[in-house]
């Protein structure tokens, strides 16, 4: 078990807040965004809906006083999947977004990568608890 520290808690909760806001934007604003981004409405809504359990997981891990390696690994895998999925979407030729659409997807991937980096720093600062 690992005891949560404030830096790690802040990194995870900031990730949950940013991802939650992005998810809501993609779910509720897909019709408005599709013209600017040239990303399909269904893709944006589904991606936004996929962020809902992700936000729940990250918020859960971020609010726990202590957590196991399994919880950390679940969070890590979810963040890596988001980054790889974003990159795969753009380089795989599945969509043809506008420049703003590319920026939207890239900024999301970079933000999640930065949150992952902050979580790694927080984990290095975490106190190991002997059970």
pLDDT in tens, 100-129: 999 999 998 899 889 888 888 877 776 554
CA distance 63 to 8: 10
Q: What is the pTM of this model?
A: 0.80
Number of domains in the chain: 1
Residue 59 has pLDDT above 50, yes or no: yes
d(CA 105, CA 39): 10
Q: Are 26 and 93 in contact (CB under 8 A)?
A: no
Sort residue 93 into left (φ over 0), alpha (ψ -120 to 50) or beta. Answer: left
User: What is the predicted pLDDT for the residue at 126?
Assistant: 66
Output the pLDDT for position 71: 62
Would you state the pLDDT for residue 19? Answer: 92
In this predicted structure, what is the pLDDT of residue 110?
Answer: 92
The whole-number pLDDT of residue 130 equals: 40
Stretch among 28-32, 41-45, 77-81, 100-104 having the lowest mean pLDDT: 77-81
Q: How confident is the model at residue 131 (pLDDT cuts 50, 70, 90)?
A: very low
CB-CB neighbours of 4 under 10 Å: 19
β-strand partners of 67 = 2
Domain of 115 in residue numbering reads as 2-128
Q: How many CB atoms lie within 10 A of CB 3?
A: 13
Q: Once rounded to an integer, what is the mean pLDDT over residues 84-105? A: 90
């Amino acid at each position: 078990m690992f005891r949560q520290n404030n830096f790690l808690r802040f990194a995870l909760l900031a990730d949950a807040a940013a991802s939650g806001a992005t998810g809501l934007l993609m779910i509720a604003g897909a019709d408005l965004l599709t013209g600017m981004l040239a990303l399909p409405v269904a893709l944006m809504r589904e991606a936004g809906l996929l962020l809902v359990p992700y936000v729940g997981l990250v918020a859960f891990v971020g609010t726990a006083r202590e957590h196991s390696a399994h919880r950390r690994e679940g969070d890590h895998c979810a963040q890596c999947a988001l980054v790889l999925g974003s990159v795969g979407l753009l380089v795989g030729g599945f969509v043809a977004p506008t420049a703003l659409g590319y920026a939207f997807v890239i900024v999301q991937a970079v933000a999640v990568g930065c949150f992952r980096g902050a979580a790694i720093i927080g984990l290095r600062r975490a106190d190991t608890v002997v059970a």
